[in-house]
Structure 1
Amino acid sequence: MHPASRAPRFLALLLPFFLGACAIFGPDRAATLPPEPQQEASQPVADPAPEQQHSASAPANPGPPASIQPTSETPWLYEGSNIPVDRQWRFGVLDNGLRYATRENGVPPDQVSIRIRIDTGSLYESDSERGYAHLLEHLLFRQSRYLGVGETIPTWQRLGATFGNDTNAVTSATQTVFQLDLPEADPAKLDEAFKLLSGMIEAPVINEVNVRTEVPIVLAEKRERGGPNERVANESRDLFFHDQMLAKRPPIGTEETLEAATAEDVEAFYKRWYRPEETVIAVAGDADPYVLARLIEKYFGDWNVEGDVTPEPDFGDPTPPAGVAADNPVGETAVMVEPDLPRSLTYSVMRKWEPVQDTITYNEGLLMDALAQSLITRRLEARARGGGDYLYAQVQQEDVSRSTDATFVSFAPLTEDWQTALADVRAVIADATTNPPTEEELQREISEYDVAFVAAVEEAEVEAGANLADTLINAVDIRETVASPQTVLDIFRGMRDRVTPEAILARTRALFEGDVIRGFYVTPQQGEASAEELRAALQAPVEADGSARIEAKTIDFAQLPKIGTPGTVVADGPLGILGIERVELSNGATALLWPNDAEPGRVAVNVHFGAGLRAFDTKDAPYITLGESALISSGFAGLDQEDIDRLATGRKLGFDFGVDLATFTFSAETRQADLADQLYLFAAKLAFPEWDARPLARAKAGERLSYDNYATSPAGLLNRDLESLIRNGDPRFGTPTPEMVENTSAEGFRKVWEPLLKQGEIEVMIFGDFDRDAAIESLEKTIGALPPREPVDPATFGPRPAAPEADGREVEYHRGDANQAAVVLAWPVGSGPAEISESRQLEILSQIFMNRLFDEMRERAGASYAPQTRVDWPVDDVGGGTFIALAQLRPGDVTAFYDASEKIVADLATNGPTEDELARVTEPLRQTILRASTGNGFWMWQLRGTSRDPTLLKSMASLVEDYSVATPERIKQLAAKYLASRKPLEIAIVPEGTQVP
């Protein structure tokens, strides 16, 4: 059995019962949970025997296609390299020069991921063609050989692919990549997909009508990106890549060149760069790689373009201005004032980009560079945690768009004293370039990388095919190869004897040597800095400061206090689905355990407790946001954040914290070897919380610095205020203002959070590749050893989340570009498990609504690039459910959005959708569920809370049907019930000084 085909088909255990029950008993019985299969339910349905796999797509001639490169030949991707070839890929070259790679991969089952890369991007454009590479990407979706005008997206939807997720395209400075993740890829679908893609790539219809239709859509995309952050991106690109093509080549292009685009000019660009010799196809999926190769031969083999290949443009090299010092070549600097943006300073050491031979020696050097950067960034972080003059700082080497090999240093000064922050950062770096690291520091970083590489080997069998295809395409873009996780681990471990402090010192020095140093500072304060002052600060001598080095200190779990007297299991038995076991411990905690091999090497752990957001009074709202940032970093069991990081060295541990409507959640991904330690971390936070004030102070600083940035665009204000606005201004759902943050304190933080950590029954979920008995023992010593929990008292809850109220129109004003606006419509829906099936059917209505908005606002009017809809139905009966439609658009199009939405609602409530509209939504939704269900994360989300409330399981019986089986009449009823029967809350976000009609 192909090792990449191990992803189990968990839903296959459910579908025969769920869908069969529906077919036999009818919809009125769909919610009745069927009995578990008599087979061993904790295991997935067995994979077919090797000779049975892919029988539907097996070729009559099992031999390799003519274009496949034999194993005796160096594959085209590995020419000039001694990196071991990843033999799971099959490489080939067509007679026309098109290169490809195919690979069998069953993650998720039945999906095939196709990537088509064209070696052209914005750097291949002339001045008058800026934006053409990206415009072409749009035009290929508009009309092509086999697809009429506007048929591409509906066609992919009928094949089960969602637009944006499963089918998309990306244009960068150096490449354009077309992406398709095809679900349920049987031979007929695969053949159709390759045919359609070949027509898009080889024969797009580029005429004046299509160009004039797509240009407004591209301009809408450009408009939605606009604002201060886009201005900073443009100015910084102009500074760092001074006199290089990259400085003036954002892929989105310019308004002037796009509006001037003609079909003749765009077609000339297409003919110049869209050629088989410039094309690479990568395919990874649940199909025979030879079958995939034959489809490439069939549909791309006869693609020929007249004329010679156009040479790649000269992207230019970073060049210092005349007269710079050789030992500190500070060149161009710039200071940009943006009143609503937080302070940020970046300087870069620029070097010429050179093509490389992707050899083992070269990769050993890259790994040493990575270790060097990790050492410096850890020291910079330690300085920030200890009260430095900056909020964060990091170092990153990057080869940028085949234009420069650069080392970037970026940080955020806490105050207007940016010079001190810069000197602080430079002093830490100077120490790293002057003195070798300690052996203890180095071994810590080596251990971190080793854990990551081992995890990649353990999890290789469940690497998604889409990720594998993307990785190969990106390797082509940077002119390197791909390596299996085992090869990466072997190279890393094979170089260990040569990774000495002195070797790291040499690599560190090289990282900060270059042709020119450039600096860019963004500040909200006029007159705070000048380009000359920034240049002088970068030129100033710096003294190495080793005080940020991490002291040698060993912390082991054996040194930490025991949680308490171990508990015992007082009850255990099947949950009633998928062979998952429910366990109850003597202190009242419950656990759901599901050992499975869905994701080898991975163990997902969630701990749910308490009452979540509803436990907060509105006056304590700022502590919600601050808690999400600082609660875990505040420490536990006598450990601060640095101690926790050190404790995790050499282990795969995590600690995420989330505040949901009705519960708090600790979550992490770990492995069997570290599961006991992971459970200890979670239990220790509940048993022995610490209240270090430094993480809180840092979180407060971050909130203060970032708040004004939200008002720089409609999208920012939506992120800041939408959840609060649709709940009548409830501050628990919004972003706290600087004044609210300023009025918090360390004492208040502890007063709010300390009792919440003690309240509410605990539910643990452990899903993945682990030993059940060992997990039980660890649970008894950790979560089971906690004292009995204090009850959650509903009388202390804050107000129930309100539903959107249609009371006129809410208007907010942003300080961004005058051509940007956003509009929202919000209707109240339900919450709780009683009508969960109806909530899923509402998702079908939501998707149909979005498709119609897409047609009205993007395709017909070019008013909005990506209108969206969303259904939020809290499973816990806490209220606040919403149905939302929103879009970013021009201020003058606000009324058009309201009118279009009103028309859509009226028509859906009166006539319902067409059968085709329904199919375009339900099939992609069904495929999304089928694919997601092959991973543990899907089931952890679906089954949370079921150890406490088994009635939640009833809704699982109709899961697939609810999302994929509906009639036009049913959708019409839902539209009438939830949308047409009441006025929505209207929210408009417009520029300051704008009148909303």
Structure 2
Amino acid sequence: MVRFPLLLSVLLSTSMVLAQPTVKNQSKKASPRPSASPAGAVNLNSPIPLDPAVKVGKLPNGLTYYIRKNSEPKNRAELRLVIRAGSVLETDDQQGLAHFMEHMEFNGTKNYPKNELVNFLQSSGVRFGADLNAYTGFEETVYQLPVPTDSANVFRQAFQILEDWAHNATLDPAEIEKERGVVLEERRLGRGAGQRMRDQYFPVLLNNSRYASRLPIGTEQVLTTFKPETLRQFYNDWYRPDLMAVIAVGDFNPGEVETIIREKFGRLTMPKNPKPRTEYSIPAHKDTKVVIVTDPEQPNTVVQVIYKRPEIKEKTLNDLRESIKRGLFNTMLGNRIQELTQQANPPFLGGYSSYSDFIGNLDAFTSIAVAKEGNVERAIRAVLDENARVKQFGFTETELARAKQEFFTGVEQAYNERDKTRSANFVNEYVQNFTDKEPYTSIEFYYNFLKKEQAGIKLAEVNALVDQFIHNDNRAVIIMAPEKDKAKLPTVEQVISFVDNAGKDLTAYEDKTLDAPLVPTPPTPSPVANEREIKEIGVTEWTLRNGVRVILKPTNFKNDQILFGATSQGGTSLYDLKDFQSARFSSTLMSLGGTGAYNQIQLGKFLSGKQVNVYPYVGELSEGVNGSTTPRDLETAMQLLYSYFTQPRKDADVVAGFLSNQRSALQNQINTPTPQRVFQDTVAVTLGNNNPRRQPLKPADLDKIDLDRALAIYKERFANASDFTFFFVGNFKEEQLKSLVEKYLGGLPTTGKTEKFNDLGIRTPTGQISKTVYRGLDPKATVQLVFSGDMTWSPEATTQIDALAEVLEIKLIEKLREEESGVYGVSVNGSYSKYPVPRYTFRIGFGCAPENVEKLIAKTQELINDLKQKGAAPADIAKFKAETRRETELQLKDNQFWLGYLQSQYYNGDNPTEILREDELLKQVTVESTQSAANKYFGNNFIRLVLMPEKKAESGK
């Protein structure tokens, strides 16, 4: 996997291609693992203390290791092999081989020939891709191996795998030839408008540095023609102990782990004449670099202003204090820019400004705006004016107080969870320490440091940062736009003038807040009238006198987490087509309005520093609420929940701005539809049998939204709380929660009526359908194969569907990827739902070369027919069972799982203790059962959907 996140999304699901080539750590020390706080005054010149819970050592051969005992989750460990070598170290004839080498580690080592490594781990319950994985960046290659520790054999074998990766890769020429196709398919997936524009602006943005010509995916020429010895040379040069770290965090004996590491990795030897490891940099420039690029498949206009500056290396406590200031600055500025989207006519579709890591030896302050209707000047001026407003007037004391509270609350929550922190959260800190010398401290230290230092951070200090961030040298402006808008774009000179002249005629920011109770009139409580325990799963059911039903599962999985939700049948299905859009958007529009006396901006400020999230929703068949909070903020969360039920608030200006932005975004998609967008719309319309409620959203649909009707529908959906079931999962005591439930849920309006959804009759069409979409400039295809039908609803049936999906995916990866080298990845998703009627759907998806579509679909059909004739291989069934059991072990200790599981079981009217039957259900998965399931579910209802490039339309039709 290439570590190169270029495609990010912003407001309104508008795709935006960012020039930022890497995201290392958006806010340094934003979530550190903070040794005891020093007594008295803090000496800010002292080095940042490292976390004493981590054992760090170095072997005589130069290899570094990090070991930490951590029992969350139990019987699990996170292992990493880190190589401080990535694509930036490649020679001209090795471009892409750092990443190719990462692939080859899974294709045969001394102790695990060919694919035995993957097979061994899958049979131990480790999923390939989801768990077992790796990535390659500019500077490093990291191998990720999460493993169980309750099997001594599997745990020890995991270190053998790490050792094999370090120096025992076989690099069989035959396997290299097979893997060429896989890596080229991964490269193919990354092609498109973003890649074409990036190729143009990268050399300018990165000032023709080494980084601009060493993208980790490499060049097609090298990947197609390199000799095996060239790859082996990269392996020999850079996979050596002085550039390696082994990281182990988990539920194990640290002394035993250290012994294993010393035994296995002590065998590595340094080359006699090691190649110097060059540290590359990006040279500064005095001028402003401007790059304006267009592409026929770019749907919107994105403007970025990037102020580059030398990377800040955090070493001392003063550096740590400075990082807090930067975090506060980013929070306050981000809040201001977000407010701009809540106007009646927002200046952009989305935007932000923030200081963060960039790439190589640089940090950057970056301002980004997605232009509305292509209006570059208005979009970028709006963002830059907010930067300039800070420069001219600074932030306010009230903004700083809220930002401090918000920042401290986040760290305090991490501190409260210090004994429940998952191992995966630790390992990345040690990776960064090894690759980039980022210090890792303990959450105890950081929490105490923050308590002492944050209060002393003055507003003037934070305001002064803007002068460090914004400067006229080492600056770049990148504009990406649709090809059709090329003539409308500003010139380079105009762009520079926009940036230089921002901030004219500004006034100071007004921090408008509201001090009022969320619930001005206390509700009339309703007591618990009936109680039932389900001891097998630790669940209690309450029924209040007003008819509200409440499901409780207190847990100790997290110290500072309570999750909650509510569901009721009904949804948009109860409304005619003329009201569909108003119903569909009703919960969104009410959320935009705020609640009670608070508008959305005021509500955000009121909740700042509190861990409270509440989200009402209206779906097709149901409506409800989901949310999260902490024990301390539980009453505020209950008040907000009550308020969303009883005090919906409409804000015509904010809604007008939201709909204006939605129209602009949708029009962009119509004017410049991306190939994937057109294909996804075709898939949705086809699977929805061309039903009006399954059509792509169009600007004209937004004109059908009536705010008053949306408010009325929302009120109808939440008027009767006795038709809802509420769920609470997390760290609470039932008796403590009881009074809040009786007050706020007991005080909700009820009618005693029970509603059902309407069956709209929307079904995936029967029979055999084939559709091919011809869109896109790149030689790449996307395939989706869909089987669907009615089913008998039972846990036995859903288990067989899950098994069938997994064993088919295992076989397709073996066939299409490993044998045919025709895909990078392939997915098989088996889904099912009880309502409106019990139905199942299998979706098989992959990307490939256009010329391979027919062959790979035929291979897929062969494997399905094989399952029908013979059933699944016993080894694959064993892998499915091992993976499922291991996954369930973790899920049973996870609040989010329990909330979703309980909501699903009660909504479907299923037995909530069903989870306890898993072993029994898994035993029923056999060769014979998978054969029967394949014949039942891979029937005659088959839809084939293919996206092909446009040039095929001319010769292929």
TM-score by length of 1: 0.86
Question: 1:845·1:971 contact (CA, 8 Å) conserved in 2?
Answer: yes
2:323 partner letter: L
Aligned to 1:52: none
Decide which moves more: 257-266 or 568-577.
Answer: 568-577
Distance 1:718 1:765 in 2: 38
Letter in 2 for 1:181: P
Gaps of 5+ in 2: 1-35, 37-44
- Kept in 1, the 8 Å contact 2:523–2:747? The answer is yes
Residue in structure 2 matched with residue 813 of structure 1 by the alignment? 774
Matched, 1:293 2:258: yes
- Partner of residue 27, structure 2: none
When structure 1 is superposed on structure 2, of 213-222 and 507-516 the one drifting more is: 507-516
CA contact (8 A) 1:227 1:713 kept: no
Distance in 1 separating the partners of 2:139 and 2:263? 28
Instruction: Tell which deviates more after alignment, 755-764 or 363-372.
Output: 755-764
1:480 to 431, 438, 452: 438
1:858-937 alignment runs, 5 A limit = 858-937=817-896
- Closer/same/farther in 2, CA of residues 695 and 838 from structure 1, 3 Å limit: farther
C-alpha distance in 2 between matches for 1:640 and 1:245: 50
**Contact 2:76–2:147 (8 Å) recurs in 1:** yes
**2:536 partner SS:** coil
8 Å CA contact retained: 2:240, 2:271: no
Q: Which residue of 898, 906, 924 maps to 1:939? A: 898
d(CA) in 1 for partners of 2:853, 2:577: 32
Contact residue 714 and residue 888 of structure 1 kept, 8 A? no
> Counterpart in 2 of 1:385?
342
| Residue in structure 2 matched with residue 778 of structure 1 by the alignment | 740
Native 8 Å contact 1:335 1:530 kept in 2: no
SS at 2:749's partner residue?
A: coil
Q: Residue 828 of structure 2 aligns to a residue in which SS?
A: strand
| 1:331-342 matched pairs, under 5 angstroms | 331-342=289-300
* Distance in structure 2 (CA, Å) of the matches to 1:201 and 1:627: 56
Separation of aligned partners in 1, 2:574 and 2:421: 39
Change (3 A) 1:846 1:950: closer
> Is 1:414 paired with 2:375?
no
Quote the residue 2:710 is aligned against: 749
Aligned residue pairs total: 907
- Partner Cα separation in structure 2 for residue 281 and residue 706 of structure 1: 46
Structure 1 position 456 matched with structure 2 position 452: no
The match for 2:9 is none
Report what 1:498 is aligned to.
456
- Give the deviation of 1:120 after TM superposition: 1.1
CA contact (8 A) 1:824 1:988 kept: yes
Report whether the alignment pairs 1:94 with 2:59.
yes
**Partner residue in 2 for 1:438:** 396
Matched position secondary structure for 1:526: helix
Secondary structure in structure 2 of the residue aligned to 1:562? coil
The 5-angstrom pairing of residues 57-136 of structure 1 reads 82-136=47-101
Contact 1:211 1:262 in 2 (8 A): no
Alpha-carbon separation, structure 2, partners of 1:718 and 1:623: 27
Distance 1:454 1:872, change over 3 A: same
Give the SS at the match of 2:82: strand
1:814-853 superposed matches below 5 A:
814=775, 816-830=776-790, 834-853=793-812
Q: Once the two structures are superposed, what CA deviation does each residue of 1:68-105 show, in whole Å capped at 9, x if it has no partner?
A: xxx9xxxxxxxx97223212221111111111111112
Distance 2:644 2:590 in 1: 9
- Please state how far the C-alpha of 1:945 moved relative to its aligned partner: 5.3
Mapped to 1, the partners of 2:562 and 2:638 lie a distance apart of 12
Partners of 1:964 and 1:419 in 2: how far apart? 64
- C-alpha distance after superposition, 1:5-35 (max 9, x if no partner): xxxxxxxxxxxxxxxxxxxxxxxxxxxxxxx
User: What is the distance in 2 between the residues matched to 1:126 and 1:257?
Assistant: 11
Aligned to 2:216: 251
Whether contact under 8 Å (1:113, 1:469) holds in the other structure is yes
Q: Distance in 2 between matches of 1:831 and 1:877?
A: 12
Give the 5 Å matches for 1:582-601. 582-601=541-560
SS at match of 2:529: strand
String of CA shifts for 1:124-146, please: whole Å, max 9, x gaps.
22233221111110011111111
Shift of 1:697: 3.5
Residue of structure 1 aligned with 2:760, choices 766, 784, 799: 799
Which sits farther off after the overlay, 414-423 or 987-996? 987-996
Return closer, same or farther for 1:193/1:122 CA change in 2, 3 Å cut-off: same
Q: Deviations over 1:824-846 (max 9, x none)?
A: 121124468x4132112211111
Which residues of 2 match residues 304-315 of structure 1 at below 5 A?
304-315=269-280
Q: What letter matches 2:772 in structure 1? A: V
CA offset at residue 876 of structure 1? 4.0
Shift in alpha-carbon separation, 1:855–1:798, aligned structure 2, 3 A = same
Aligned 8 A contact 1:831 1:881 in 2: yes
* Counterpart code for 2:690: G
Alignment of 1:442-591 (within 5 A): 442-513=400-471, 515-524=473-482, 525-543=485-503, 547=507, 549-556=509-516, 558=517, 560-562=519-521, 564-591=523-550
Say if 2:389 and 2:508, in contact at 8 Å, map to a contact too: no
Q: Alpha carbons of 1:744 and 1:807: their partners in 2 closer, same or farther (altered >3 Å)?
A: farther
Q: 1:262 is matched with which residue?
A: 227
Unpaired segments ≥5 residues, structure 1 = 1-70, 72-79, 325-329
Q: CA deviation at 1:877?
A: 4.8
C-alpha contact (below 8 Å) 1:335/1:529 kept by paired residues: no
Q: How much has 1:379 moved relative to structure 2?
A: 1.1
Residue 737 (1) aligns with residue 701 (2): no
Aligned counterpart, 1:974: 933
Whole-angstrom CA distance in 2 between matches of 1:545 and 1:719: 45
Match of 1:787 among 749, 764, 773: 749
Alignment of 1:82-231 (within 5 A): 82-231=47-196
Q: Separation in 2 of the partners of 1:342 and 1:196?
A: 46
What is the alpha-carbon distance in structure 2 between the residues aligned to residue 712 and residue 256 of structure 1?
30
Provide the secondary structure at the position in 2 that maps to 1:442: helix
Read off the aligned partner of 1:810 and give its amino acid letter: K
**SS of the counterpart of 1:412?**
strand
Distance, in Å, in 2 between the alignment partners of 1:215 and 1:632 is 50
Distance in 2 between residues matched to 1:746 and 1:646, nearest whole Å: 25
Q: CA deviation at 1:625?
A: 6.1
Whether the aligned pair in 2 keeps the contact of 1:573 and 1:582 (CA below 8 Å) is: yes
Conserved 8 A contact 1:434-1:505: no
Change (3 A) 1:539 1:596: closer
Counterpart residue identity of residue 767, structure 1: V
Contact 1:569 1:585 in 2 (8 A): yes
Cα contact 1:714–1:821 (8 A) shared by 2: no
| Contact 1:590 1:948 survives alignment (8 Å) | no
Given that residues 547 and 752 in structure 2 are in contact (C-alpha distance below 8 angstroms), is that contact kept between their aligned partners in structure 1?
Answer: no
Matched to 1:420, the amino acid is R
TM-score after normalising by structure 2: 0.90
CA distance in 1, matches of 2:138, 2:616: 37
The answer on whether the counterparts of 1:175 and 1:477 sit within 8 Å (CA) in structure 2 is yes
Taking the aligned partners of 1:183 and 1:703, their CA distance within structure 2 comes to 47
- What RMSD, in angstroms, separates the aligned Cα atoms of the two structures? 2.7
Between the aligned residues of both structures, percent identity stands at 19
List per-residue Cα deviations over 1:538-594 (Å, max 9, x = no partner): 4532336665734253435x3632363222211112134322111111221111112
For residues 617 and 757 of structure 1, what CA distance do their matches in structure 2 show?
Answer: 18
CA distance in 2 between counterparts of 1:362 and 1:714 reads: 47
Kindly tell me: are residues 468 and 733 of structure 1, through their superposed partners in 2, closer, same or farther at Cα, counting changes over 3 Å?
farther
> How far, CA to CA, are the matches of 2:581 and 2:213 in structure 1?
42
Quickly say closer, same or farther: Cα 1:659–1:88, change in 2 above 3 A: farther
Q: How many Å apart are 1:201 and its aligned residue?
A: 2.1
1:332 partner letter: V
Aligned counterpart, 1:349: 307
Counterpart amino acid of residue 529 in structure 2: V
